[in-house]
């Protein structure tokens, strides 16, 4: 996730929506068919600390578009083939089906486009016995397009995001003193609302938060991660001692601008631009405990939450398409380049192992920094491994779109 705010989507965007993605944490929409608005605002999620939100367009003259090329707003789709997809025969492509069916169940984006009604109906009746059968089904029904910039550049960037999982308690304790708040009762009476620093220090500002505490966490950075992502999971200790897994969803913010803590650390000379990943930011704060508030107050925006049930722990938060995200099979995209609900083949590498990341995913989310043609934010899921992968992900990318014949 070499990324950040994500109030939207996963995720929202969690968009519901990019990360991409959360990590750089503190750092840190569709085609001609109906575009569903993200459930919550998406800001800089997916931003790479110290870098532009999107790669700059090449200054060279555009490459002429081949016959059959489709124009998609911020991108062009060039006719290709399954044979061109690196690693197509190795992906466990049958794993895509749950995410594909979720996208087909919506009323927005690709699911409304010509040809999709038949494909979606067939996908609900088809249960692939293995990956080879799934590949054959896709090859019979889809055409392949290489995604390029309008100038003909196929090179891009993939970042990563995740859903934070944080331990919490209903009441403040000796170690858990940082409150997560629901929407203040006077939020609509003051525009803009109090800043983060004012909410932390001024009694008049704190009055609107009284009685709005949802839960308490140990680390102010955990609270920031949840706010940047816009959603997350809480492992809550209830007053009776029982433990409940609960989803925390975006409910609003204080109408203040988002500013990147990672960017501030770079400007202060505390981190180099190439070092400003979320793990590096966390490490700096651990080494500088007396400056944590100084750093956090550089971002005046505060996010407020609401609790939601977690009926299926195997599914992530809802993305901008309005469907739950699937770990390893959902991405955030620029919907002016790739409509929500489009299957996309990724050719990249994993950040920690540098192993090939070549797999079929569904475009189901977006983020404020996810702009351009070959640009994706990869949803890793939740937990320590997802955080580690997302926090370091900033990989070169090539991508192909699948579209009904």
Residues 271 and 384 in one domain: no
CA distance 324 to 89: 27
Residues 255 and 387 in one domain: no
Q: Residue 147 is part of which domain span?
A: 70-162+314-404
Residues 300 and 190 in one domain: yes
For helices 384-392 and 278-287, what crossing angle results, to 10°?
100
Residues 230 and 301 in one domain: yes
Please count the structural domains in the chain. Answer: 2
Of the three residues 308, 340, 363, the one that is the final residue of a domain is: 308
H/E segment holding residue 331: strand 330-332
In a domain, 213, yes or no: yes
Give the DSSP per-residue string, 127-186. --SSHHHHHHHHHHHEEEEEEE-TTS---EEEEEEEE-EEEEESS--SS--EEEE---TT
In a domain, 52, yes or no: no
User: Omega before 353 cis (within 30°)?
Assistant: no
Of the three residues 288, 308, 328, the one that is the final residue of a domain is: 308
Please give the C-alpha separations between residue 161 and each of 60, 72, 202, 324, 375, in angstroms, as whole numbers: 32, 25, 34, 14, 13
Residues 148 and 181 in one domain: no
In a domain, 136, yes or no: yes
124: domain CATH number? 2.40.40.10
242: domain CATH number? 2.40.240.50
Residues 196 and 303 in one domain: yes
Q: Is the pTM of this model over 0.85?
A: no
Residues 145 and 167 in one domain: no
Give average pLDDT by consecutive 10-residue segment, the chain, 405 residues.
Answer: 45 37 34 28 47 44 82 94 97 96 75 79 93 97 97 95 93 95 93 96 96 95 86 90 90 91 93 80 92 95 92 88 94 95 97 95 89 95 89 93 95
pLDDT digits (tens, 9 = 90+) for 235-294: 998 888 899 999 998 899 999 998 989 899 999 999 998 777 777 888 999 999 999 999
CA distance 298 to 70: 43
Of the three residues 287, 308, 329, the one that is the final residue of a domain is: 308
| 275 token code pair | 């070092």
- Angle, CA 325 vertex, CA 324 and CA 328 arms, to 5°: 155
Please give the pLDDT value at position 40: 34
Sign of the dihedral through C-alpha 183, 16, 180, 369: negative
| 340 token code pair | 């929500």
């Amino acid at each position: 996730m070499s990324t950040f705010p994500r109030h939207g989507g996963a995720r929202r965007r969690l968009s519901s929506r990019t990360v991409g993605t959360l990590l750089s944490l503190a750092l840190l929409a569709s085609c001609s068919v109906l575009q569903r608005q993200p459930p919550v605002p998406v800001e800089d999620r997916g931003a790479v600390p110290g870098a532009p939100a999107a790669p700059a367009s090449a200054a060279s003259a555009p490459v002429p578009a081949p016959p059959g090329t489709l124009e998609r707003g911020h991108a062009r789709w060039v006719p290709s083939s399954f044979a061109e997809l690196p690693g197509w025969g190795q992906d466990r492509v049958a794993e895509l089906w749950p995410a594909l069916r979720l996208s087909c169940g919506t009323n927005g984006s690709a699911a409304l486009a010509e040809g999709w009604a038949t494909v979606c109906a067939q996908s609900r009746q088809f249960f692939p016995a293995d990956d080879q059968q799934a590949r054959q089904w896709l090859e019979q029904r889809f055409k392949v397009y290489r995604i390029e910039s309008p100038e003909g550049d196929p090179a891009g960037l993939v970042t990563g995001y995740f859903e934070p999982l944080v331990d919490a308690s209903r009441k403040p304790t000796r170690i858990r003193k940082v409150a997560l708040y629901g929407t203040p009762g006077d939020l609509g009476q003051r525009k803009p609302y109090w800043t983060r620093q004012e909410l932390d220090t001024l009694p008049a500002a704190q009055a609107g938060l009284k009685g709005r505490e949802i839960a308490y966490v140990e680390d102010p950075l955990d609270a920031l991660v949840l706010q940047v992502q816009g959603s997350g999971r809480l492992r809550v200790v209830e007053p009776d001692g029982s433990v409940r897994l609960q989803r925390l969803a975006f409910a609003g913010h204080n109408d203040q601008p988002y500013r990147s803590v990672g960017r501030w650390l770079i400007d202060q000379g505390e981190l180099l631009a190439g070092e400003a990943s979320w793990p590096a930011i966390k490490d700096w704060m651990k080494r500088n405990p007396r400056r944590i508030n100084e750093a956090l107050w550089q971002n005046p925006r505060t996010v407020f939450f609401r609790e939601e049930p977690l009926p299926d722990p195997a599914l992530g938060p809802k993305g901008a398409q309005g469907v739950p995200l699937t770990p390893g099979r959902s991405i955030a995209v620029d919907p002016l380049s790739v409509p929500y609900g489009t299957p996309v083949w990724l050719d990249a590498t994993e950040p920690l192992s540098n192993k090939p990341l070549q797999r079929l995913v569904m475009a189901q989310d977006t983020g404020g920094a996810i702009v351009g043609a070959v640009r994706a934010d990869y949803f890793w899921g939740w937990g320590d491994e997802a955080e580690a992968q997302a926090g370091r992900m900033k990989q070169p990318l090539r991508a192909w779109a699948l579209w009904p014949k």
